Amino acid sequence: MYAVTILNNGTWLAPGAVIYSHPYGWREPVEIVQNFFLVEGAGHVALIDTGIDDLESYLTEEQCKQLRPDPSRTTRELLASRGVEPEDIDTLILTHLHFDHYANAKLFSRARIVVNRTEFLHVLQPDNRLYMPRKGFPRDVFAWLVDDAWERLELVDGEVEVLPGVRLIETGGHSPGHQIVTVETSQGLVVIPGDEVYRYDNLEQSIPVGYFYDFEKLVRAMDLLRSLAGHLLPAHDSRVHERHPTLRIA
């Protein structure tokens, strides 16, 4: 059994049509947070996604005045608050390769790095670069993965148990090789949906996210998430902290 700790870099904004699929009519920016997850137990210290630093840099001056966010916290600071250094992480699981989920991968110099094979090959395919601007897909991290981290990189397919009680399920809706993560705890199954849903209301109101790769796979992923009885922890919903005020499920 594991303990899952919710880490949050801070608050920022996303376009409404990204968070909720366009036909539903949201146009105004939506306040989101940046959650990622520390998993400890069974002799392992693992991390699901990497967080992203300096969230203020993704806001305009006007948005900062409107939102008045608390200063964001770096991934290193958040781990240190839990008594963990980046070098302690033995397994880094990336739900997908969008910048806010992998940007800090280079912090983890000792970790086994688990990525979906389809996702990895997609971002490395030069034919796709037109649709992957550098701002959203920092290529220095991709270069690091195929060089410095090469011996620690593990590509997986389909459904696989990467640690005893930690399972990855390829869903491929939000991005070509997106995967969700389930973690067994004494309080029940923890389900980390990555970005197949951004917020609880994507699932509860059956409103798909607006940013997707394969709509059919996206809605299948939503059906799968509904079928998994457990604690759902969306990456971009502040209500995760309200539903789990201790920020820890063990």
Q: What digits encode the pLDDT tens for the residues 28-39?
A: 899 999 999 999
The structure's pTM equals 0.97
pLDDT of residue 25: 67
| 74 neighbors 53 (Cβ within 8 angstroms) | yes
Given a contact cutoff of 8 angstroms between Cβ atoms, the answer to whether 154 and 145 are in contact is no
Domain ranges of the chain: 3-249
Residue 129 or residue 145, greater confidence: 145
CATH no., domain 3-249: 3.60.15.10
Is 70 exceeded by the pLDDT of residue 45? yes
Whole-number pLDDT of residue 35? 98
**Between 229 and 211, whose confidence is greater?**
211
Reply yes or no on whether the pLDDT at 67 is more than 90: no
**Contact (Cβ atoms closer than 8 angstroms) between residue 50 and residue 249:** no
Q: Which of 18-22, 78-82, 89-93, 171-175 has the lowest mean pLDDT?
A: 18-22
pLDDT-derived band at 123 (thresholds 50, 70, 90) equals very high
Say what the pLDDT of residue 26 is.
76
